[in-house]
């Protein structure tokens, strides 16, 4: 691992980290690691994601709407949610959606030690794998909170850390129209943040899907949106193919 440092200039340096899952490129800006917020793409692909930590009342309806519009999404699941709703986890996977970890207990992970972070990610990934039989390769930090230690530990474990570039703010109790209006600005390469149990997400999804599909956008899971080799992540969190 090699860093270039110039004493009088704040510079952007790309650090190549080779882990068990292959090559990972993380961007350094003044020694700061950056997760993926969006992906530079020209093929009109976009990703919608659902964080699940509390409640599952609307998850079946979300799956139904996704199926109706031929949308494949990514669900980031907290381990205690996985333990409480194992049948729903199995169904999410069976319907072809991607599942990433959202930690084990939903803590503020920038305050944890490397050992505690490792435990959170190992335990939650195992819980998902035990139900789905599918390895976990994506991680979303609770609260969007991260630091260098968190991203480095995740990278070393073969997990790509994923944020978002379009926030639905659905958790704030916005109406379906307000949620859809926020999300309809999405363009190719954006990662959309939603939650599985927010008040009006089920009613908002048809508006979102119809509007973005009319713009020519294709919904794919995050794992198909991001690059897995020959890339770098700039200081703003944009993943760019080299």
- 200 part of the active site: no
Out of 51, 106, 170, 232, the active site residue is: 51
pLDDT value at position 30? 54
Structure tokens at 185: 């600005």
For residue 2, name the pLDDT band (cuts at 50, 70, 90).
Answer: very low
CATH 3.20.20.370 for the 35-226 domain, yes or no: yes
For strands 45-52 and 191-195, give the pairing: parallel
Domain boundaries, the chain: 35-226
Task: Compare 195 and 20 and report the one with higher pLDDT.
Answer: 195
Out of 106, 195, 200, 232, the active site residue is: 195
Q: What's the chain's average pLDDT?
A: 90
Contacts 24+ apart (CB under 8 A), 16-19: 17/152, 17/155, 17/156, 19/155, 19/156, 19/157, 19/158
- 190 part of the active site: no
Q: What's the pTM value of the predicted model, to 2 decimals?
A: 0.88
């Amino acid at each position: 691992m090699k860093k270039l440092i110039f004493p009088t200039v704040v510079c952007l340096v790309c650090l190549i980290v080779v882990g068990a899952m292959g090559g990972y490129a993380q961007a350094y800006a003044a020694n700061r690691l950056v997760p993926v917020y969006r992906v530079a793409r020209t093929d009109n692909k976009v990703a919608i994601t659902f964080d699940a930590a509390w409640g599952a009342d609307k998850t079946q309806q979300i799956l139904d709407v996704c199926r109706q519009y031929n949308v494949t999404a990514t669900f980031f699941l907290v381990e205690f949610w996985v333990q409480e709703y194992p049948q729903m986890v199995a169904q999410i996977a069976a319907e072809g959606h991607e599942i990433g970890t959202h930690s084990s207990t939903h803590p503020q992970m920038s305050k944890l030690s490397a050992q505690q972070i490792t435990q959170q990610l190992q335990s939650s990934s195992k819980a998902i794998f035990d139900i789905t039989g599918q390895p976990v390769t994506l991680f979303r930090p609770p609260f969007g909170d991260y630091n260098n230690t968190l991203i480095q530990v995740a990278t070393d474990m073969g997990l790509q850390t994923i944020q978002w570039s379009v926030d639905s703010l659905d958790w704030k109790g916005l109406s379906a129209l307000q949620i859809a209006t926020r999300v309809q600005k999405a363009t190719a390469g954006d990662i959309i943040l939603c939650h599985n149990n927010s008040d009006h997400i089920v009613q908002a999804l048809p508006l979102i899907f119809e509007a973005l599909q009319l713009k020519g956008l294709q919904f794919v899971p995050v794992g198909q949106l991001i690059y897995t080799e020959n890339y770098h992540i700039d200081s703003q969190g944009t993943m760019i193919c080299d």
